[in-house]
Every structure is written in structure tokens, then in C-alpha cells.
Amino acid sequence: MFVLPYGFDMPVEPPSRDARRVAATRAALGVPAGQRLVLSVGMLGPTLKRMDVLVEAVASMGPDRPYLVLLGQESSETPALAARARTLLGDGVRMATWPRERMADAYAAADTFVLMSLNEGFGLVYVEALAAGLPCVAHDNPNTRFIFGDHAYLGDTTSLPATAALIRLALGEEAGDQRRRARHAWARSHFGWDVLAPRYREMLLACAAGRRPQWDAQ
């Protein structure tokens, strides 16, 4: 048995955070000017992505809390989540099903990305956010350590205080192009198709020949 991760088409450079592009996307999402933006992407409900817990964590951050944007597909759980979010955050939250072709704009407009899942089979949105250069917050487990390496804020997201503290750390990160480029470079070197395609080819050739792939032979 051997393991290969999903592959992604990634440009050599991280995506642009052009000020006009960011402003236009934030306006489309209803984010007030000057507000910090926390983004989460996934099924809009509590069961899989624990978005209800994220709402509670952001609400616990007090009057200086960031604006929360939840993007994803609706489910039977979405109305209850929306009601809970309005109760706790008022106008400080937006839930929407965002066009797939505009997700790059959403990542570019965010200040940090948070996914509250305790477990993921892989976590495509982790890599998308990482490739966009975003500081990310996620639950600490073998999967997230594999995906992020040292390029995320990992911790115990079953704890509201710990989650809020991680979000504050991510939002308080010193802005700079160097860390954004480092995250993009990590994502590209581990999950970019230009790196993984030769491994997939070798895997198929090895299976056809009844041998182990050369990169997995040690």
C-alpha cells in the first residue's frame, strides 16, 4: 500500500490580493469597510463542519470580533445554523452559496481561514486556503499536520476559548508577503500537479509491472 494526495493546479506565484479586487469581493459579501474577515468553507451546518461552534467562538471574542463569512452548500441544517448565527452575531455574519469560479476571490479577500472539522478524509479547502497564502486555523490531528506542516495555527478546536485564541493569533499575524509566499510554496511543492503528476505516472506503471513505485521502495 502507498499513499498519494490529491493534486491541484497551482500557479507559480500566489494569487493576487489586488486592493480593488479585495474591496469588490468584500462589498459583494457585505463585509463592512475596515472589518477583519474570517472565512470558512463547507457544508452549511453543524454536523460535518461544526460551523455552529465557529459562530460561538467568534461571538465569544467580544465587541472587537471579526466579521464571519460562511460559504458552502445548504442542507436541512442550514436554517437552524442561520438562526443561531443571527442571534449571536447579528449583522456580523454572512452565509451564502458562492459560485465555484469566484472562490479564489473569496480566499483573496479573507484575513484568515478557519475550518472546525475534527476529522477530514483529506480537506480540499485546507489546500485551497493554504495556496492562497492565508493564515489558517484548524483542529490539530495527523491529517492537518500532514497538510499544513508548520504553516497553520493548529490546536484543540473542541474548546471555545482555545479556538478564539487561535483565531486571534491568525488575525494578529504580522502582515507580509513573505509568509503568504511561503504558504503558497509549501502547498505547491506538496500538492501541485507539476510535482504529483510524475508520482501518479510512476504509481500506475509500477502497478502494471507488479512492483512498488520507485519513490515508495525504501
pLDDT tens track for 18-63: 899 999 999 999 999 899 999 999 999 999 899 999 999 999 999 9
pLDDT tens track for 142-166: 999 999 999 999 999 999 999 999 9
Helix, strand, or coil (residue 4): coil
185: nearest Cα among 8, 4, 39, 12: 12
Give this prediction's pTM. 0.93
Distance CA 85, CA 101 (A): 26
Considering the four listed CATH numbers 3.40.50.280, 3.40.50.880, 3.40.50.2000, 3.30.365.10, the one that applies to the domain covering 19-175 is 3.40.50.2000
